[in-house]
A = this chain, B = another copy of it.
Amino acid sequence: MRQVCVLGIGQVPVQELWDKSLRELAVASIVAALEDAGNPAVQALYVSNMLGGELTDQAQLGALVADFAGLAGIEAFRVEAAGASGGVAFRQGYLAVASGIHDIVLVTGVEKMTERLDPQVTAALAHAHDGDYETFPGATPASLAGMIMQRYIHEHDVDRGDFAVFPMTSHQNAVHNPYAMYRKAISREFYDRASMVAAPLNMLDASPTCDGAAAVVLAPAQLARDLGRPVVKVIGSGAATDTIAVHDRADPLQFAAAARSAAAAYKQANKWPEAIDFFELYDDFTITAVLALEACGFAERGQGVRFANEAGVGLDGRLPICTLGGLKGRGNPDGATGVYQIVDVVQQLRGTAGANQLDCRVGMAQAIGGSGATAVTHILEVEK
């Protein structure tokens, strides 16, 4: 397997983009990523998207996006694993280049959620869960997260208010990210007053529905060196699953897929939690962020909230997370999110994260589908 780097990145500002279509969003992110990469010849395009069929009446996004990006002819297809879609597409791109199947692979994640209104959007997002045994009886993404959060509070005797550190961190970090949806810091008081969505989960514990697209160009690391470009290498990649339904797990407070995929990425990278400078984790709901910290070995079981409050997860904390706003502050355009996370990691490693720039060398991103049923973890390192 040869070394692989991210040669180009592109993204569109996450918003409710009423005047932009699914294909326009995808193409805008691709044009930006290709330009950033120096417009290399691309051999394949992997598109990550969850809801094109349900909300935009559009499937076969591989061919469609390739076509409208001026790339008709190349190999192209779509992957889907709910919220983990972007991680899956990036992993497939990474593997294709690493194994020599292709030299240059383009990965774009795109989601257009504002084409329909609720309850249709929430109903479509609920397709990520077990239709027969969770969704049909009435569970929604937020209610499932709320139940896990309630169990966490009960079992670990945590104060609900202590969860505030997660949305506060993401919102704070989004302030200086021009691609973020909510560029506004929130206070602890604001969090405490937020309306309940699915108790104990409140409105500020949930990431917003929105539109967006992000893209990356993957290439052999040697190409970046030859071009004198920053060499941001993919040094670890792992993917895993868990039972799709939360009630089928021996321990509903353990994200086994997140743990397995992180373990695989750590092993490949030969780096362990203490070597990770920052972590773009999946804060679709606050409780997901907590369980991701624990699954990936940054905190012991039941200690994720305490870790965030005591060791710190802000830009100056022991483990900065969601450094450009995460899903809560930047927005969570479902199938696109995993690719945005990679774009964030690359910006930090290149030193182009602006006001939020960290002194860093190794970053990690993890995308999660459903209530932790699919997880994909990547570790990237910049050659300095």
Select the stretch in A3-11, A54-62, A304-312 that faces chain B: A54-62
Which residue of B is nearest A83, CB measured? B60
Q: Is the CB of A79 within 8 A of B76?
A: no
Within 8 A of B (CB), among A182-237: none
A135: CB under 8 A from chain B? yes
Contact flag A242-B72 (CB < 8 Å), given A78-B80, A96-B95, A374-B77 = yes
Bound Cα distance A256, B72 (Å): 10
A132: CB under 8 A from chain B? yes
Q: Is the CB of A244 within 8 A of B67?
A: yes
Which residue of B is nearest A74, CB measured? B241
Q: How far is the CB of A201 from chain B (nearest CB, A)?
A: 21
A253: CB under 8 A from chain B? no
A320: CB under 8 A from chain B? no
Select the stretch in A122-130, A269-277, A282-290, A323-331 that faces chain B: A122-130
Name A63's contact: one of B92, B95, B123, B373 (CB within 8 Å): B373
For chain A, give the interface size range. 35 or more
Copy count, this protein chain? 2
Name A60's contact: one of B100, B101, B244 (CB within 8 Å): B244
**Chain B residues with Cβ under 8 A from A126's Cβ?**
57
| Residue among A66, A126, A130, A131 facing the most chain B CB atoms (10 A cut-off) | A131
A359: CB under 8 A from chain B? no
Q: List 26 A-B contacts (CB under 8 A).
A: A23-B132, A59-B82, A59-B127, A60-B80, A60-B81, A60-B82, A60-B128, A60-B370, A61-B80, A62-B88, A63-B370, A64-B130, A66-B241, A67-B241, A67-B244, A72-B243, A73-B241, A73-B242, A76-B241, A76-B374, A77-B79, A78-B81, A92-B92, A95-B96, A99-B99, A99-B100
